A and B are shown apart, each in its own frame.
Chain A
Amino acid sequence: MTQIVFFILSLGTIIGALGTILCKNAYYSAMWMISAFVSLAGLFVMLNAPFVAMLQIIVYAGAIAILILFVMMLMDRRVLNNKQRFNPQYFWGIILGVGLFSDLAVLAFKFRINISNAGKSLTLHGSNTKMVGDVLFKHYLFPFEIIAIILLIALIGAIVLTKKDEEEAR
């Protein structure tokens, strides 16, 4: 049963990823990307990480993909879907991608760890979210505040980049 569900979900992920990079129309690419993200959320549920699965749906499929679709909606569709889909040197790109995958696959086959405590200590009082909160706010204090600064810089950077142009145009 677990094997079948894993197979369906991973197939959805891989097909979604392939559709993202192969579709000619950028809107279809975004839709395939959303399907890959949702299948990946299913895989996260199988790995006993329901909080992260919900985060995947809320943040990736709900915010990032919608932001990308929103920007595409504002653009001229003839500019968006230009004639040439691939670079002229796409052959070498594919070779490099296949090489990267075989490299990682060899590493994965050689990888050995002790999996005796698989699936343990992921919950606190029967809740994964509680465990994440406990470890996040007790052991990862400093990275957490750094994330706030990264979000602040991203907000300021995006406003500075777009606002300057608007004032010039006026």
Chain B
Amino acid sequence: MSFEDWYRQDRLPHIYCAGCGNGTIINCTLAAIDQMGWKKEETVFVSGIGCSSRAPGYILTDSLHTTHGRALAFATGVKLGNPDLNVVVFTGDGDLAAIGGNHFIHACRRNINLTVVCMNNQIYGMTGGQGSPTTPKGCLSSTTPYGCAEIPFDLCELAIAAGANYVSRWTSYHVKELEKAIKVGFETPGFSFIEALVQCPTAFGRRNKFRQVADHVEYLRSHSLLKAKYDRMVQQGEQIPEDMYVVGELMRRSRPALGVKP
């Protein structure tokens, strides 16, 4: 499958660092769109600020690259202005969970008919590797030189609690699973949230002893705990290790949604 005609060839080369996981996530999203059969003129990408938010600029559709944290508020206006448009939001952990946290919970609460793909690299990659709300405890960043002392956000739990209809988490290792999850997100009316943990060799891996890009991807793979296994472990009263990420479909429901055409 080729997505070449969905990319703005005249914008290359892109700004992503060698080994960045964001390209994988963009490809998975475009693959899911391809399966949906969406047309370019009926698809709009919206983003805020950060590495992830540069993605819409490389895709050949209408796109809105907005202010830091506000992508969901802009996207809400786009969707309500023209509900015929398929609106996809690319965001990151800093954009969505820190400066944009308020818009995130309210977009979930309204259950507005958007699909949000969050590239969670667990750090502010673009601005110099500052710790983000998802930087794991103990991890090094330019603002946590002695190890992050704060508890990270679980973005999926947040989305579920706030009312999103579809919530799923995968990593840049789980390409096929991620692609399928994004497609299910597209198909589910209401707010769909797909978190994709990604490696960031420049800002995160470099500081946290991932000498090779593959080491970081392998870490994401080996620290992923399938939802089914997680459920079984919980049922059997087993201890869930703190550094594991539950991956898989975490919520699918059909609460009333905003911006859905009757």
- Judge: A and B partners, yes or no: no
Interface residues of A (CB under 8 A from B): none
